[in-house]
Amino acid sequence: MRVIEPGYELIRPQSLSQQERQAILLQIEDAARTCYKSTAKNKSPEATAKFVASLVAAGHEAMIEHVHMSVRFTVDRGVSHEIVRHRIASYAQESTRYCSYDKEKFGSEITVVRPQAFEPGTEAFDVWKAACQEGERAYFHLLSLGVAPEYARDVLPTSLKTEIVVTMNLREWRHFFKLRAVGTTGKPHPQMRQVAAPLLEAMRAFLPEIFGDIG
């Protein structure tokens, strides 16, 4: 059994470059100006950024729905259940029906995400790890009996690692960050915030016009 930490990978935009940033802001500006058939008096990047910031400040967030962002999260199954509660999104998630962890490509072992509260060297960590190992043993035993992975998975722990690709428009990402990083409706789960907060910080630096007011 392998123990890992949670994380994320930005898929789209592929890089937080100035070129990517300007393309996003121009796409939003172009869509917004269609509403009024207006043209920009100043075509500079600074003017475009100011225009987009004014849209968000005025609550005209429909315009930022024209841009999408995709992120690959590596989290445990419990955290992934919170992520998929966001309705305006597309998901692709590692399937425990079709992934059989006894195969060589998985190292013939399960991978689990360490809960933030369980520090290595503590009794709590040892209890958690032993429980996960017991689940792994039961899982592999069931597979050896010819049980299909879609049934054998029922003994796997909530801490089981899963990868999930999430695509949302920028308006929905704003909603995601408010709930999962900041906690506007209640304190976020610590393990959810463990990936949502650093992602928000990265996006605030990249697109302050869109995310700078959150938190």
Ordered DSSP codes for 92-105: EE--TTT--TTSGG
177 touches 215 (CB < 8 A)? yes
Pick from 145, 178, 57, 159: which is nearest to 113 by CA?
Answer: 159
* DSSP bridge partners of 90: 167
Q: Which residues are marked as active site? A: 180
Tokens representing residue 128 in the block: 């958690």
Buried b (16+ CB within 10 A) or exposed e, 155-178: bbbebbbbebbbbbbbbbbbbbbb
